[in-house]
């Protein structure tokens, strides 16, 4: 991969995986990229669970997903990265009351995409899964009450890549120049 633009263009939501395991060193590199993400007041509200154990992955997918999207493909992914949010009192509960900005959600999104882009650079496929039951996921993981899962990210070796990426709105529709 020659540069950042190519990395961004290469990433896609991967929904077909080989079942081969992902080396621990690759997972640590992915987590390190997430850990380097910026966050409001440097609060670092993210917490991660790396789930490779087959029975636990099955439970996450069987019980932790909401119905309706038919995400059976996720069972092939050898790794499920769970993104959890641990809120602080001032930055995450009081400041948003004044600003109306959801800082910890922004922070988790940045960290998750750092992880995903690092995975992409390593040739791995990923997909955000936000259609989840956060409290069920928390119980399955045995996380404490102050950490709420916000997303799963599947990680594994893609079986194929789409010829074209998903469509995007044109810049003219989403940008205001002043």
Ligand X SMILES: Cc1cc2nc3c(=O)[nH]c(=O)nc-3n(C[C@H](O)[C@H](O)[C@H](O)COP(=O)(O)O)c2cc1C
Report the b/e string of 48-84 with b at 16+ CB within 10 A.
Answer: bbbbbeeeebebbbeebbeeeeebeebbbbbbbbbbb
Identify which of residues 38 and 165 has a Cβ nearer to ligand X in the complex.
Answer: 165
Please give the Cα distance from 57 to 80 (Å, whole number).
Answer: 7
* Binding flag, residue 102, ligand X (CB under 6 A): no
Query: What's the token pair of residue 87?
Result: 């809120």
Distance of closest approach, residue 118 Cβ to ligand X, in angstroms = 16
Q: Is 9 in the site for ligand X (CB under 6 A)?
A: no
In sequence order, the 6+-apart residues with CB closer than 8 A to the CB of 26 are 119, 122, 124
Q: Is 80 one of the binding residues for ligand X (CB under 6 A)? A: no
Q: Distance between CA atoms of 79 and 72, rounded to whole angstroms?
A: 14
Which of 131, 136, 143, 148 is the binder for ligand X (CB under 6 A)?
Answer: 131
Nearer residue to ligand X within complex by CB, 111 or 129: 129
CB of 159 to ligand X, least distance (A): 15
CB of 128 to ligand X, least distance (A): 4
d(CA 144, CA 129): 21
129 binds ligand X (CB under 6 A): yes
CB of 82 to ligand X, least distance (A): 13
**Token representation of residue 115:** 């992880």
For ligand X, the binding residues (CB under 6 A) are 12-13, 69, 71, 127-131, 151, 165-166
């Amino acid at each position: 991969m020659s540069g950042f633009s190519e990395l961004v263009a290469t990433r896609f939501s991967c929904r077909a995986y080989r079942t081969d395991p992902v080396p621990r060193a690759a997972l640590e590199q992915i987590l390190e990229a997430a850990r380097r993400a910026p966050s409001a007041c440097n609060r670092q509200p993210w917490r991660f669970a790396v789930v490779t154990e087959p029975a636990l992955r099955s439970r996450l997918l069987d019980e932790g997903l909401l119905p309706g999207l038919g995400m059976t493909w996720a069972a092939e992914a050898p790794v499920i990265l769970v993104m959890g949010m641990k809120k602080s009192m001032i930055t995450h509960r009081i400041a948003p009351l004044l600003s109306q900005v959801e800082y910890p959600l922004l922070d988790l999104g940045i960290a998750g995409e750092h992880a995903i882009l690092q995975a992409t650079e390593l040739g791995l496929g990923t997909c955000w899964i936000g259609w989840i039951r956060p409290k069920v996921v928390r119980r399955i993981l045995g996380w404490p009450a102050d950490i709420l899962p916000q997303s799963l990210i599947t990680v594994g070796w893609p079986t194929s890549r789409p010829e074209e990426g998903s469509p995007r709105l044109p810049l003219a529709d989403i940008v205001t120049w002043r």
